[in-house]
Amino acid sequence: MNYTATTDATGRSDNAAADTHRKALEVNLDATSFGSFAEIGAGQEVARWFLRVGAASGTVAKTVSAYDKEVSDDLYGSGTRYVSRPRLETMLDCEWKSLVQQIGDTRGKDTRLFAFADTIAARNFAGTNDCHGWIGVRFQDHPRAEASDILLHVNLRNNANLLQQEAVGILGVNLLHALLNERAAPGDLPARMFDNLANDRLEIDQIVMRGRAFAGCDMRELHMALARDGQAEAVMLDGDGAAVAANEFLYKKAVVIIPLASDPRDGLSAKAVAECLETLRREVAGSPEVKDVIDVRLTVVDSNAPLPAMGKGAAMMTQHRQLYRTTAFVRRYTQAPLRFAVPLPALIRIFDDVRYQHLEGRLLEGIARLFGSNVRVLAYPCPREELLPLLETELGRGWEVDGSRQWITADQLRPASPLLHLYEYLLASGFLVAIPPS
């Protein structure tokens, strides 16, 4: 089957289809790999590629599509959510065991076996669900080798179900081709997986790698690259520094975001963070909609700046410096109270119009997006001798300080008009909270 570079009614080029077709066919024509496919939800989009390009008998041992919940439970057991990492791991365990039992003796000597599985929640008819999924491959890097695993958590960003299915299919083909044909190094896999996929079509915010094929891979560096290159809007790390899926980690949690800065003078003390957490715990006490209160270090990663020391505790890595993007990201997964805890130098940066040049409404639009539902900025005081030099720079131009106290609080700061009127409104309405010296 030949493809030419045309576009469909949506303006999408079919170059992606041609390249995906080529990759799937190359996998099928490679006699050294053979495996099975098990897919729940979003159609059999990955297996379908290998079945339709020809020579599928060279790759596909079987395909399974368990749409019905009772059928899925019969195959893989009950007790886990259908779109979850535990369900994916159960699918891989079951399909791998079955594959090895059925063809391990006859094909295992000269063939690298693999089991591909995914469980996907694509956009429902009402458009009300969290569109995400888990994709995994258990494979041998050479015949008879101990198997290695790669697991991905993906967020589907297209608005249409059909486009989400298409993205899953392309991703699955890219992944298998990279593992089986290219034998790509672990650090190169994210770029390979996004071939023919724009970052706004899907995200990968968690990768798990296990086994000899991934020995020595720096998982922190790999996840930092996902955030830096925009392949994830943000990557969440738990208290142990391990990547976690944001939809599970942030679900029904009230969150205190502490932006990290390269200048230690812009940091908050552990005491200030603890006080903020305790205040928020009292605020949400007894609410059935809040499961926990957590603090998260916000770290900006880009190729031009060193990564700040994150220390212990949960963290969020992103390429975006504008805090309103963090509001939008957190609000994808929790509607509980959200607080940004910042020192005064960071507060001044929030009102820097340069940060919002890309928005049609510039500063006003950025501030409106930042202060979404139940979002506040808690501004912590700063010693006078540390803040006054900042006011002499380009960033602090036009800002003044009332009074002569040693510690300056947010309600003592005065930007020049007309920004002054917006600043005073935010203070008076409680969106911006001036924390007093302790």
The CATH number linked to 64 is 3.90.950.20
- Is residue 236 within 8 Å of residue 250, measured between CB atoms? yes
Pairing of strands 148-156, 202-210: antiparallel
Q: Mean pLDDT throughout 126-135?
A: 90
Residue that wins the pLDDT comparison between 310 and 57 = 57
Are residues 325 and 205 both part of a single domain? no
Whether residue 3 is predicted with pLDDT greater than 50 in this model: the reply is no
- Of 64-73, 315-324, 363-372, which gets the smallest average pLDDT? 64-73
Identify the domain boundary among 217, 234, 255. 217
Note whether residue 3 is domain-resident: no
Q: How far is CA 435 from CA 412, 420, 425, in A?
A: 11, 19, 17
Q: Residue 133: helix, strand or coil by DSSP?
A: strand
| Local confidence band at 125 (pLDDT 50, 70, 90 cut-offs) | confident
In this structure, is residue 223 part of a structural domain? no
**What six digits make up the tokens of 353?**
């119009």
pLDDT bracket for residue 129 (50, 70, 90): confident
For residue 116, what pLDDT is reported?
98
Q: What is the pLDDT of residue 5?
A: 38
| Residue 92, domain member (yes or no) | yes
Indicate the pLDDT class of residue 203, thresholds 50, 70 and 90.
very high
Residues 172 and 306 in one domain: no
225 belongs to a structural domain:
no
Amino acid at 129: N
Q: Output the CA–CA distances (angstroms, integers) from residue 220 to 93, 137, 360, in the order listed.
A: 26, 21, 36
Question: Which pLDDT score, from 0 to 100, does residue 6 have?
Answer: 39
Q: Are residues 286 and 195 in the same domain?
A: no
CB distance 176 to 37 below 8 Å: no
Contacts 24+ apart (CB under 8 A), 270-275: 271/438, 272/341, 272/380, 272/435, 272/438, 273/341, 275/438
Residue 195 lies in a domain: yes
| pLDDT at position 12 over 70 | no
Domain-terminating residue out of 181, 198, 217? 217
Q: Are 400 and 391 in contact (CB under 8 A)?
A: yes
Confirm whether 64 is domain-assigned: yes
CA distances to 115, 159, 212, 220 from 209, rounded to whole Å, are 15, 30, 10, 12
Q: Is the pLDDT of residue 1 over 50?
A: no
Quickly state the pLDDT bin for 7 (edges 50, 70, 90): very low
Could you tell me the pLDDT band of residue 42, with boundaries at 50, 70 and 90? Answer: confident
pLDDT tens digits, 388-437: 999 999 999 999 999 889 999 999 999 999 999 999 999 999 999 999 98
Report H helices in 317-382. 323-331, 344-350, 362-370
Identify the three-state secondary structure at position 339.
strand
Residue located via tokens 């090895």: 100
pLDDT band at 307 (very low <50, low <70, confident <90, very high): low
Q: How far apart are CA 318 and CA 328, in angstroms?
A: 13
Enter the DSSP assignment of 152: E
| Interacting residues of 133 by C-beta distance below 8 A, sequence separation 6+ | 41, 42, 83, 118, 119, 120, 121, 122, 153, 154, 156, 168
Q: Which amino acid is at 135?
A: I
By residue range, what is the domain housing residue 170?
15-217
Note whether residue 209 is domain-resident. Answer: yes
The proportion of the chain whose per-residue pLDDT surpasses 90, expressed as a percent, equals: 80
Q: Are residues 428 and 375 in the same domain?
A: yes
The pLDDT of 239-249, averaged and rounded, is 93
Q: How far apart are CA 222 and CA 395, in angstroms?
A: 34
Antiparallel, parallel or unpaired: β 407-408 and 413-414: unpaired
Q: Are residues 129 and 189 in the same domain?
A: yes
> Do 186 and 272 belong to one domain?
no
Per the listing, tokens 């303006």 go with 11
Task: State both tokens at 109.
Answer: 């000597």
- Evaluate whether 384 touches 405 at the Cβ level (below 8 Å): yes
What percentage of residues in the chain have a pLDDT greater than 70?
Answer: 94
Residues 182, 278 within the same domain: no
Residues 56 and 147 in one domain: yes
Predicted TM-score of the model (pTM): 0.89
Residue 13, pLDDT > 60, answer no
Please, what is the average pLDDT of the chain? 91
- 164's enclosing H/E stretch is helix 161-176
pLDDT of residue 66: 82
- The more confidently predicted of residues 4 and 296 is 296
pLDDT at 304: 67
Summarised one tens digit per residue, pLDDT across range 17-38 is: 899 999 999 999 999 999 999 9
Number of domains observed in the structure of the chain: 2
Q: Which pLDDT band holds residue 309 (cuts at 50, 70, 90)?
A: low
Cα separation, 135 vs 154, in Å, equals: 8
CB of 20 closer than 8 Å to CB of 49: yes
Residues 195-203, mean pLDDT to the nearest whole number: 94
Q: Specify the pLDDT at position 404.
A: 86
Same-domain check for residues 207 and 301: no
CB atoms within 10 A of CB 264: 8
Asked if residue 10 has pLDDT above 50, the reply is: no
